[in-house]
């Protein structure tokens, strides 16, 4: 059975300019970062599909990304993999005093507030001067996720809709504004209004406690599944390309009906 030490040795060998892998040797933090993000999404996809064998494999790929970054950092004299482990262990103990230091926390919501308080104290200890409630929300995450975090932080001081009803009103308002900008033809204003519409959509998902990324992955999978079925149904007619939109819509409706029928039978 291999250990983490074996993985660290493999990574060092791959990065060795003398006999290592030319591709691995050429990489740096900037070139590897997109792969790190991709592997995280593949982990989420395996979880969505409840494919635990694939999840094991994808977690390995994600771990390899951590090892890759740590190896490059060690080569540059910044830190080692052991420092990464030490830092996260120390942080987890520090941010969970109710588990490791005898403190008390009422519930999960109280722990979330305490977590943000710990993070704020850590930023102050590092000498960061941004005292905004919104400080520390990474600009490197997907924008939908950053929107949700901005909204959640603001909500901690009461700047939030009391319930979802007015958020739906706001959604309809933003749709009307997008429609107006489509007619107006101003590309920059249209960009702005579509951004507002997406921001409100994230807010609805937050109130519903729905993960936007998971919901969109589900919608993408559903669209892909139904479109592929349409392609199958259109083979005898020479394919979708030669069909009218009405004919294509009929196949789409058929694909939907088949899904519903199959779900009913289960």
Residue 253 falls inside a structural domain: yes
Query: Do 148 and 205 belong together in one domain?
Result: yes
Is the domain of 87 the same as that of 27? Answer: yes
pLDDT score, position 20: 96
Judged by phi (left if over 0) then psi (alpha if -120 to 50, else beta), residue 19 lies in: left
| pTM, 2 dp | 0.67
Q: CA–CA separation, 85 vs 64, rounded Å?
A: 14
Does residue 110 lie in a domain region? no
**pLDDT tens track for 143-182:** 998 999 999 989 988 999 999 999 999 999 999 999 999 9
Domain that holds residue 241: 213-265
pLDDT in the model for residue 261: 83
Tell me whether residue 127 is in a domain.
no
The verdict on 12 and 61 lying in the same domain is: yes
Closest CA to 222 of 190, 258, 246: 258
Q: Does residue 64 share a domain with residue 25? A: yes
Domain count, the chain: 3
Residues 178, 201: Cα–Cα separation, whole Å: 13
Reported as half-sphere exposure (CB side, CA atoms, 13 A), residue 242 has a value of 6
pLDDT digits (tens, 9 = 90+) for 46-85: 998 899 999 999 999 999 999 999 999 999 999 999 999 9
For residue 76, being part of any structural domain is answered with yes
The CATH number that applies at residue 206 is 1.10.287.1080
Q: Please indicate, yes or no, if residue 199 is contained in any of the structural domains.
A: yes
Q: Are 161 and 167 in contact (CB under 8 A)?
A: yes
Give yes or no: residues 224 and 162 share one domain: no
């Amino acid at each position: 059975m291999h250990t983490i030490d074996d993985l660290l040795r493999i990574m060092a060998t791959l990065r060795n300019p003398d006999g290592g892998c030319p591709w691995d040797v050429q990489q740096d933090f900037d070139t590897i970062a997109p792969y790190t993000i991709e592997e995280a999404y593949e982990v989420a996809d395996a979880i969505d599909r409840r494919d635990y064998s694939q999840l094991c494999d994808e977690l390995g790929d994600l771990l390899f990304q951590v090892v890759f970054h740590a190896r490059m950092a060690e080569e540059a004299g910044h830190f080692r993999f052991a420092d990464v482990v030490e830092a996260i262990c120390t942080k987890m103990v520090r941010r969970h005093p109710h588990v490791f230091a005898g403190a008390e926390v009422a519930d999960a919501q109280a722990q979330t507030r305490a977590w943000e308080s710990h993070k704020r104290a850590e930023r102050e200890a590092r000498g960061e001067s941004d005292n905004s409630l919104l400080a520390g929300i990474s600009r490197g995450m997907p924008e939908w996720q950053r929107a949700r975090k901005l909204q959640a932080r603001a909500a901690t001081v009461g700047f939030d809709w009391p319930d979802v009803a007015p958020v739906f009103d706001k959604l309809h308002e933003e749709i009307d504004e997008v429609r107006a900008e489509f007619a107006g033809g101003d590309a920059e204003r249209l960009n702005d209004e579509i951004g507002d519409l997406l921001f409100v959509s994230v807010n609805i998902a937050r109130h519903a406690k729905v993960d936007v990324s998971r919901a969109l992955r589900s919608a993408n999978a559903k669209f892909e599944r139904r479109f592929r079925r349409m392609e199958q149904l259109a083979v005898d007619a020479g394919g979708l390309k030669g069909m009218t939109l009405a004919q294509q819509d009929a196949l789409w409706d058929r694909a939907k009906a088949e899904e519903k029928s199959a779900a009913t039978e289960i």
